Chains A and B, each alone.
Chain A
Amino acid sequence: MQFSGEGYIIKVRKHGEQSVIVTLVCPHHGKIVGYVKGGLSKRGFGVYQVGNYISYNAYMRLEENMPSLRGVELLHSHTADFVLNNDKIGALVSMCRLLDECVAQNDDLGAFFNVIDDFFRHINDENWLVYYSFFEFYLLDFLGIGLDISECAVTGKHTDLRYISPKTGRAVCAEAGAPYKDRLFAYPQYIIEHNYMPQKSEIANVLTMTGCFLEKNFLMQHNLKLPENRANLLGLVKTYKL
């Protein structure tokens, strides 16, 4: 059995002296783990780095076998984008770890891949952290624990939505949420309106909210924790300029 594809490297593990086992997220094949013989050779040094976008031909004898990746070519290197910036490394590591731990192997990513792709494509933009927050927000959706931000959970209204309930993950309108506003998350306006430029406090709110729901509804149930590097991202938002 064989197939070809492209994908972002999210994890690299050394195997023996010269080979590596790489984990990729691909637009058409979801998350795959493959073996690359000679991946640690001189030619492979710049290729098998987390965040790089590669093309490959995957071969395996049976469907359940780990594919052997051959003819790997580096399509886009992101190493330099991250290597020079500690904050971006933090976001990259956090994203890769969440993808590695939360996404099942061979699970079709569908439109969620576009969100991952956006993060890499906009990494040199000034507002790159916005794309990281999109990633966490849509990861919740992908995991089946997405937030319902279309209407108020109390009144059913579609307008004047201001809060998100930390219990239900549903939107609450200004009127219904006013008495409890200290206990509710702020409504993620910029997730809905893509042309809306968020303030740094809004990004921090979304990251706090997604972190809370990820931890409560997924990670804790699987005995996992939020990545350590993610904690720095919230600190970063305070110094982050749009």
Chain B
Amino acid sequence: MQGNDIEKLIKIIAKLPALGARSSRRIVLHLLKKKETSLLPLINALQNVADNIKKCPICGNFDTDEPCAICADSARDSEVICVVQDVADLWAMERVGLYKGQYHVLGGILSALDGITPEDLNIESLFSRLNKGVIKEVILALPATIDGQITTHYLLSRLKEYPLKITTLAQGLPLGAELDYMDDGTIQLALSARKEI
């Protein structure tokens, strides 16, 4: 049996993504046992984030500075912008470390079936950035799903008005994949995007 406060903490942690009641109890128990080394540093870190984290007004990324470190970095290529669905996608691109341009986070993708319209997304600010005339290339790094493609085609139809180079990420076989295990759609896409070597 736990006290009310501990029970409340277990319930809050259990609501976090990828965690359930059992993992939540294990985490809470660990924090309680390691108060000095785990619990207090965690409280400090959470408090710092809660006090300082901001959504970048330019790209929509999360950071403690405004604008975010990526937008403020003068060493990055300000002529290329990569449009992503979510901050998680931005982090994935940054993990690779190859891309050195700017980002724009849409905060979701269009979905006719779920009723998500362009007004619900961070799209107008993308065009405000383009209107400044600095950007020369837009990379549409959106999911290879039906909804992702609806968003890509919507953006393409509006981007046509701008004298820009517009690119999308390649679609096809993932690294380490064997053809035998791939679904028909992936093979079909890979075939249509084949390139000469």
Contact = CB atoms under 8 A, between A and B. Distances in A.
Interface stretch (A71-79, A159-167, A169-177): A71-79
Contact of B183 (A13, A47, A92, A228): A47
Interface of B: 17-18, 112-114, 144-146, 149-150, 153, 156-157, 171, 182-186, 188-189, 192
A153 interface: no
A232 to B, nearest CB: 10
Interface in A186-242: 227-229
B113 A83 contact: no
A205 B157 CA distance: 26
A84 B192 contact: yes
B55 to A, nearest CB: 23
A92 B150 CA distance: 11
Contacts of A78: 185
B21 to A, nearest CB: 13
A46 B186 contact: yes
B192 A89 contact: no
Nearest to A12: B113
Given A94-B112, A227-B112, 19 more contacts: A17-B17, A46-B182, A46-B183, A47-B183, A49-B146, A74-B183, A78-B185, A79-B185, A79-B189, A80-B188, A80-B192, A82-B146, A82-B149, A83-B146, A83-B171, A84-B189, A86-B150, A93-B150, A100-B113
Contacts of B144: 83
**Max count, chain A CB within 10 A of own CB: residue among B145, B156, B185, B192:** B185
A83 B184 contact: no
B149 A74 contact: no
Contacts of B18: 17
A52 interface: yes
Nearest to A92: B146
Interface of A: 11, 13, 17, 46-47, 49-52, 74, 76-84, 86, 89, 92-94, 96-97, 100, 227-229
B149 A11 contact: no
Contact of B113 (A17, A50, A74, A80): A50
Contact of A97 (B113, B149, B182, B186): B113
Nearest to B19: A17
A104 B150 CA distance: 27
A74 B182 CA distance: 11
A14 B182 CA distance: 22
A93 B112 contact: yes
Contacts of A100: 113
A100 B114 CA distance: 11
A83 B112 contact: no
Nearest to B184: A77
21 contacts: A13-B114, A17-B18, A46-B183, A47-B183, A52-B185, A77-B184, A77-B188, A79-B146, A79-B185, A80-B184, A80-B188, A80-B189, A83-B144, A86-B153, A89-B146, A89-B149, A92-B146, A93-B112, A96-B113, A97-B112, A228-B112
